Amino acid sequence: MVLDCAIIGGGPAGLTAGLYTTRGGLENVTMFEKGMPGGQIMNSSEIENYPGVTGEITGMDLMMPWPKQCQKFGLKHEMIEVTRVSKDGDIFTIHKADGTVDEAYSVIIGTGSSPRRAGFKGEDEFFGKGVSTCATCDGFFYKGKEVVVVGGGDTALEEALYLAKICSKVYLIHRRDTFRSAPNTIARIERTENIELVLNSVPDEVYGDKMGVNGLKVKNKDGEIRDIVVPGVFTFVGNDVNNEALMQEDGSFLCEISKTGEVIVDISMKTSTPGLYATGDMRIAAPKQVVSAAGDGAVAALQVISYVDELLN
């Protein structure tokens, strides 16, 4: 049986695509998710910017009902990694990690992106408990407090400026003495009074207790250690888009990809390959929020319903 739609990734984008395709009348839709459905927001200890959710809620609390809601309308779920998606004529082939394949008339991919880890001691242990990669999401928790930002690119500098408006002070830790950022952004950093530059320095160890982070030890190029007492550490050392499933055997991609690896889509989430839609954090210019990923999933699903209808009738 050829699936009406194969959904790759079970984060907010994939799950919403699953809801809208099945509820919109497609009968054979399978979502392939390599782990537990829910996506990267499952790592967040608190989410307070998802519309309509007003109480204290973890990322896991937010996402738990989503798969059940989709199953009610007939979404099938396979817990497996998709290693490659290819296309021959009108039919996509979904290659799975166990060596088996499925076929589909359309594909919605939402495999997300993964913030790079900086690699210092305690970073993994305190991730989501004081170490964060999302200032929009977690900055407000440190209102009026001091925080650290790690990184020297556009993202780190822009997020440091954002945090400086909320927090009493931002220590910007960068491993060199020049930034990899737009001159205008660097100038804004230099004239922001509550940003202290800690240059030629790298994080050595984040420490804390079961309540969260208490501080960060930073090492400079002479090997001297400075202890910065803060409850929050934000790392922005680059992101990797999870686009591997679109890579073909010859190293090319199934659709157009930007220089930095994001999938190029139009406002309908259409890629350059007919029948293939890309959603959420992996698509170009993504706001990297749960609400926008879910929105992308709905937009792509509505497109897929028309695409499959036209293809088969």
115 touches ligand NAP by CB under 6 A: no
Question: Contact with ligand FAD (CB under 6 A): which of 182, 225, 291, 312?
Answer: 291
User: Is residue 284 a contact point for ligand FAD (CB under 6 A)?
Assistant: no
Q: 95-117 as b/e, with b when 16 or more CB fall inside 10 Å?
A: bbeeeeebebbbbbbbbbbebee
Q: Under DSSP, is residue 57 helix (H, G, I), strand (E, B) or coil? A: coil
Nearer to ligand NAP, 23 or 180 (CB): 180
Closest Cα to residue 278, out of 61, 45, 155, 110?
Answer: 110
Helix ranges (DSSP H) in 113-221: 135-138, 154-166, 183-190
Residue 292 CB, nearest distance to ligand FAD (Å)?
A: 7
| Cα–Cα dist 175/237, whole Å | 11
User: What mask of x and - would describe binding to ligand FAD in positions 124 to 153, judged by CB under 6 A?
Assistant: ----x---xxx--x----------------
- Please, are residues 168 and 145 in contact by the beta-carbon 8 Å criterion? yes
C-beta separation of 113 from 121 below 8 A: no
Is the dihedral angle over the CA atoms 17, 23, 27, 33 positive or is it negative?
Answer: positive
What tokens were used for 281? 């954090």
- Does 81 sit near ligand FAD (CB under 6 A)? yes
The residue assigned the tokens 């242990």 is: 125
- Residue 21 binding: pick among ligand FAD, ligand NAP, none (C-beta 5-8 Å cut-off by kind): none
The binding track of 41-60 with respect to ligand FAD, each residue x by CB under 6 A or -, is x-xx--x-x-----------
Structure tokens belonging to residue 82: 């998709």
Note whether 34 binds ligand FAD by CB under 6 A: yes
Judge whether 138 counts as a catalytic residue: yes
Pick from 19, 118, 286, 294: which binds ligand NAP (CB under 6 A)? Answer: 118
Q: Catalytic one among 5, 70, 102, 138? A: 138
Fill in the amino acid letter for 118.
A
Residue nearest ligand NAP (C-beta atom): 153
Looking at the Cβ atoms of 21 and 201, the one nearer to ligand FAD is 21
Stretch that binds ligand FAD, among 28-36, 146-154, 169-177, 186-194 (CB under 6 A): 28-36
> Which residue in the list 137, 167, 204, 281 is annotated as catalytic?
137
How far apart are alpha carbons 235 and 240 in whole angstroms?
14
The pair of structure tokens assigned to 97 is 């990690």
User: CB of 80 within 8 A of CB of 96?
Assistant: yes
In angstroms, the CA 229 to CA 259 distance is 38
- CA-nearest of 24, 38, 29, 23 to 6 is 29
Residue 184 or 313 with smaller CB distance to ligand NAP: 184
Centre a 10 Å sphere on the Cβ of residue 184 and count the other Cβ atoms it contains: 8
| 70 versus 82: smaller Cβ distance to ligand FAD | 82
Q: With CB cut-offs between 5 and 8 Å by kind, which of ligand FAD, ligand NAP, none does residue 284 bind? A: none
50 vs 162, beta carbon nearer ligand NAP: 162
DSSP string over 272-296: SSTTEEE-GGGBTT----HHHHHHH
- Of 201-240, which residues contact ligand NAP (CB under 6 A)? 202, 236-239
User: Which residues are marked as active site?
Assistant: 134, 137-138
Residues engaged in binding ligand NAP (CB under 6 A): 118-119, 150-156, 158, 175-176, 180, 202, 236-239, 260
- Applying CB under 6 A, the residues found at the interface with ligand FAD are 8-14, 32-35, 39-41, 43-44, 47, 49, 81-82, 110-112, 128, 132-134, 137, 242, 245, 280-281, 288-291, 293
